[in-house]
Structure formats: structure tokens, C-alpha cells
Amino acid sequence: MQIKKIKRPWVPEQHSRKYEPFYRTSTWLNLRKSFMLGTTTLPDGKVIPNTICIHCYKEGKTTPANTIDHIHRIKDGGAATDMNNLQALCMKCHNRKSGEEGNQVKMKTNFKKT
């Protein structure tokens, strides 16, 4: 016996997010690995390893980084394979940054519609 999915017009449908195909390529995986082994020089001259979240470090915390993030999104014209466009972030900081970027994009598109 199969259960039918109930349509509720007041509940928005959930759409699964599609991964950018670039993140599955060997180019990205090798670039990510080599970036994690390197270091980042901050504007004040301090050098920190890319295994520490750069946003947390600026707040005085040392949180392990588990995500490599593009500073300027690929969708917005950021270079996909440029090491200078990458930063190491923890999951919390990455989610916060991605959410803020998504909200900015929404605000721009809503502003253009009106």
C-alpha cells in the first residue's frame, strides 16, 4: 500500500539544493587539499595556518577550519581556482557567511522587481 503525498498549499515546497558540479572535480579536490596545507597572511602581517577558521581567529578564538570557502562567490564572478579567493572557515562561520550572501542576493532581486 502506497501513501499519497498530501498537498498543503500553505506550506512551501522544499527543493533540494543542487551542488555546483565544480566541487566534485579533481581540480577542486586537489586545490582544496593544497590550500589546507598552506598558510594565510593577514593584513597586519600575522601568518596563520589554513587549518584555523579565519573569522574566528579575528574574534580571538582558535576554531579548527573544516570548510574552504570562496571569498567572492563563483556565481558572482569570483575566480574558482584562484588561491587568493579562498579562505578557511569553520562550519558555523561558513553557514553564516553563505546565509548573508543569500539574503543579499534575495534583497537585490526583490528590489529589481519593484
- The pLDDT-based confidence of 22 (bands split at 50, 70, 90) is confident
User: What is residue 2's predicted lDDT score, i.e. its pLDDT?
Assistant: 76
Q: Amino acid letter at 69?
A: D
Query: What is the pLDDT confidence band of residue 85, given thresholds at 50, 70 and 90?
Result: very high
Count of domains observed in the chain: 1
The reply to whether 47 falls in a domain is yes
Residue 114 clears pLDDT 60, i.e. is over it? no
Residue 8 inside a domain? The answer is: no
Contact 91, 63 (CB under 8 A): no
Task: Provide the residue range defining the domain that includes 30.
Answer: 21-113
CB distance 86 to 69 below 8 Å: yes
**At residue 14, does pLDDT exceed 70?**
no
Decide if 97 is inside a domain.
yes
